[in-house]
């Protein structure tokens, strides 16, 4: 009897203890579930919060980041505070000027200080900054061509220029370099540019940095045929990450005509040319970046160009068209609908994104061309995500 009572007592203790610990475990699990739910809700709220221009870009989890680029050239004298960092993936600071011996020149302390400010502000927005070397005009006078040509023709000066650019990228925390040699005019030029590009590519890529190159459109705006007085070796494009096509300034082809600045039919021919070239040489078309102008060309060649911002300041409705009359002169430019149409054309042909010259010419707010292109790129990205999920 005593043994039976003892067994009963032990059984009661075991059952009671099991229930107690089960309750503790249930309570802990339920608390953890509530905490996980709150954390998940907080993350959802954070994802859904709209990003203002002053906030860093945030990538949504479980979705790939936008793969298309929007690269904006910014001249060295621009106020860094006016740049639309939020909508650009890359800012190309323009320019560093090569000397014949392979050194680099900047347009004074102001230019270098602007570069550093832009790097700081851009990186806060997860926007990359690339330094462009070259351009059309040289700081010491005349075209940059003669200086650049000499620098890359000699092995010693070429190596020095590569070292200077690589060191600048490291010291100033740049994300890469943009080559803007305007333009190779002979087979020898093209060969020297290819060697320079390869050597610079090797040094930059070792350091996790990018290399882009600005190229002539290579298509006559009137005839629609290939331009042969600008020469590139196709193999060179294997060494770069982005090929920025300067698909504008067609007004000089076949006699001055401002309407040929960058009309859509001209761009169709440019896209067709570069698509065919890259396909024939089995180079990834994702490297191709289509450029658009943010300035207006006057029908009177004696009148200066004006910015897109000046056109919008006169009348915001000008954003919906491609020509405007101001101060008795007709100007030709690209409005919002046209740059969006060009963006679709580029993406439909497998291009890697868009480029603009120049960010300082843009306006702010609802009529910004930069924002319009960015919206188009994002829409295409979201459409691609939905299509992939559907498959």
Q: What is the pLDDT of residues 285-314, one digit of tens each?
A: 999 999 999 999 999 999 999 999 999 999
User: What DSSP designation does 258 have?
Assistant: G
Report the pLDDT averaged over residues 262-288.
98
Region 224-244 average pLDDT: 98
- At 18 the pLDDT is 40
Q: Is residue 238 part of a domain?
A: yes
Q: What is the pLDDT of residue 28?
A: 38
The beta strand positions in the chain, using DSSP E, are 69-75, 90-98, 104-105, 128-135, 176-181, 210-216, 242-246, 288-293, 295-298, 306-307, 323-326, 329-332, 353-357
Domain residues for 281?
A: 69-384
Q: Is residue 26 part of a domain?
A: no
Q: Does residue 335 fall inside a structural domain?
A: yes
- 294 lies in a domain? yes
Q: Please choose, from the candidates 250, 263, 255, the residue with its C-alpha nearest in 3D space to the C-alpha of residue 218.
A: 250
Q: How many domains does the chain have?
A: 1
Q: Among residues 67, 86, 69, 136, which one has the least CA distance to residue 289?
A: 69
The CATH number of whichever domain residue 86 belongs to comes to 3.20.20.80
Q: What number is the average pLDDT over the span 366-391?
A: 81
**30 found inside a domain:** no
Least confident span in 5-19, 190-204, 330-344: 5-19
Ramachandran class of 220: left when φ > 0, alpha when ψ lies in -120 to 50, beta otherwise: beta
pLDDT for residue 152 is more than 60: yes
Please indicate, yes or no, if residue 35 is contained in any of the structural domains: no
242 — pLDDT class (breaks 50, 70, 90): very high
Tokens linked to 206: 């070792």
Q: Is residue 191 part of a domain?
A: yes
Residue 6 maps to a domain = no
């Amino acid at each position: 009897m005593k043994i039976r009572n003892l067994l009963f007592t032990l059984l009661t203790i075991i059952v009671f203890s099991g229930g107690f610990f089960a309750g503790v475990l249930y309570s802990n699990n339920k608390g953890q579930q509530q905490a996980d739910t709150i954390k998940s809700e907080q993350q959802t709220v954070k994802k859904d919060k709209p990003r203002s221009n002053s906030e860093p870009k945030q990538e949504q989890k479980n979705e790939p980041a936008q793969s298309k680029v929007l690269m904006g050239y910014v001249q060295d004298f621009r106020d860094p505070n006016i740049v639309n960092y939020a909508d650009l993936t890359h800012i190309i600071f323009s320019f560093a000027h090569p000397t014949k011996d392979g050194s680099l020149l900047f347009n004074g302390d102001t230019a270098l200080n602007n570069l550093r400010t832009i790097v700081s502000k851009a990186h806060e927005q997860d926007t990359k900054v690339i330094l462009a070397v070259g351009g059309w005009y040289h700081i010491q006078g005349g075209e940059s061509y003669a200086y650049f040509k000499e620098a890359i023709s000699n092995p010693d000066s070429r190596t020095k220029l590569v070292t200077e650019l690589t060191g600048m990228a490291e010291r100033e925390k740049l994300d890469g370099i943009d080559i803007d040699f305007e333009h190779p005019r002979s087979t020898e030029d093209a060969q020297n540019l290819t060697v320079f590009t390869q050597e610079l590519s090797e040094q930059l890529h070792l350091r996790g940095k990018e290399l882009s190159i600005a190229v002539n459109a290579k298509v006559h705006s009137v005839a629609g045929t290939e331009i042969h007085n600008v020469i590139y070796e196709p193999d060179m494009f294997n060494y770069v990450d982005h090929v920025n096509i300067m698909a504008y300034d067609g007004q000089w082809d076949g006699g001055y005509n401002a309407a040929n600045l960058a009309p859509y039919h001209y761009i169709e021919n440019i896209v067709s040319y570069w698509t065919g070239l890259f396909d024939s040489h089995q180079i990834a078309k994702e490297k191709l970046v289509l450029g658009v102008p943010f300035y207006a060309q006057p029908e009177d060649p004696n009148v200066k160009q004006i910015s897109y911002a000046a056109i919008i300041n006169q009348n915001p409705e000008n954003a919906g068209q491609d020509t405007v009359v101001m101060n008795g002169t007709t100007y030709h430019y690209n409005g919002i609908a046209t740059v969006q149409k060009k963006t679709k054309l580029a993406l439909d042909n497998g291009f890697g994104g868009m480029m603009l010259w120049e960010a300082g010419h843009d306006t702010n707010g609802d009529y910004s061309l930069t924002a319009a292109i960015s919206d188009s790129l994002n829409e295409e990205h979201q459409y691609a995500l939905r299509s992939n999920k559907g498959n």
